[in-house]
Amino acid sequence: MNYRKQIETLARLLRKSERCYVLTGAGISTDSGIPDFRSPGTGLWEKVDPIAVSSLDVLQSNPRLFYEAGFSRFARIALAEPNLGHYALAELERLGFVKGLVTQNIDGLHVKAGSRKVWEVHGHLRSGYCMGCGKRYSFEELVNQVELKRIPPVCSSCDNVLRPDVVLFGDPMPPFFFDLQQKIYEECDFMLVVGSSLVVYPVADLPRLSGKLAIINRQPTEYDQQAEVVIRENISMVMTDLLRKIETVQ
């Protein structure tokens, strides 16, 4: 199936769907300057072991290492801006073709782009909190303390270590995730996966709970054989073309 036919097929699937949910991963944000995790030669996890520097265990046992070795990546991600793929998904939601968006990304770019119904299942970089008393902080406060060499950043009320509002290795999934699983199972008649290799569980199990499936991702996934269409092209281009096509396809 050539690219034009793939876009047409995807547009028809989306138009005929009553309750489409989108699942996005790191691949949608590469055009915003954020490397993904597994692409050969460029993936973040080829260069650094996240469990060695950015896990809950490291944060609890060696918070200085967590902030000195891994936090700069979070700070860079927080500065990124949405790309055409993010804006296209927000517009598809506004037009009524997308009922909700589940993202594995912590970059907050879907929210910045205007998507409204977003489940950030791995957290976000808009805020943080004290691991002792739970006092809330802006993410900028964590960045400011690190830039001032207050490492690790600590709470002004109890002097315990602060942490960002992200799901680290070793953290449980947020409580809303289990309600989300049920919602997908009961409502989703079509899932569009965008930029996810579908290897990180339990999020990678969500496509199994949906009806029909389509995948836009540079690398193969274990769900490719089950998908109605698989597109391995630049995501910003695909989403822009899909947005244009959906207005004309029947």
Nearest to 205 by CA among 177, 232, 229: 177
Each residue's pLDDT, cut to its tens digit, for the chain (250 residues) gives 899 999 999 999 999 999 999 999 999 999 999 986 554 554 454 555 666 788 999 999 999 999 998 898 899 999 999 999 999 999 999 999 999 999 999 999 999 999 999 999 999 999 999 999 999 999 999 999 999 999 999 999 999 999 999 999 999 999 999 999 999 999 999 999 999 999 999 999 999 999 999 999 999 999 999 999 999 999 999 999 999 999 887 6
Active-site residues, by number, are 122
pTM, two decimals, is 0.92
Query: What pLDDT does 193 receive?
Result: 98
pLDDT digits (tens, 9 = 90+) for 186-229: 999 999 999 999 999 999 999 999 999 999 999 999 999 999 99
DSSP 117-152: SEEETTEEEEEEEETTT--EEEHHHHHHHHHTT-SS
Q: How far apart are CA 206 and CA 177, in angstroms?
A: 10
Q: How far is CA 189 from CA 89, 93, 101, 203, in A?
A: 18, 16, 14, 17
Query: What pLDDT does 51 receive?
Result: 63
Q: How far apart are CA 247 and CA 88, in angstroms?
A: 13
CB 164 within 8 A of CB 154: no
Give the relative orientation of helices 71-78 and 139-147 as an angle to the nearest 10 degrees: 130
Q: Map out the domains of the chain with their CATH numbers.
A: 1-33+82-122+172-250 (3.40.50.1220), 35-79+123-166 (3.30.1600.10)
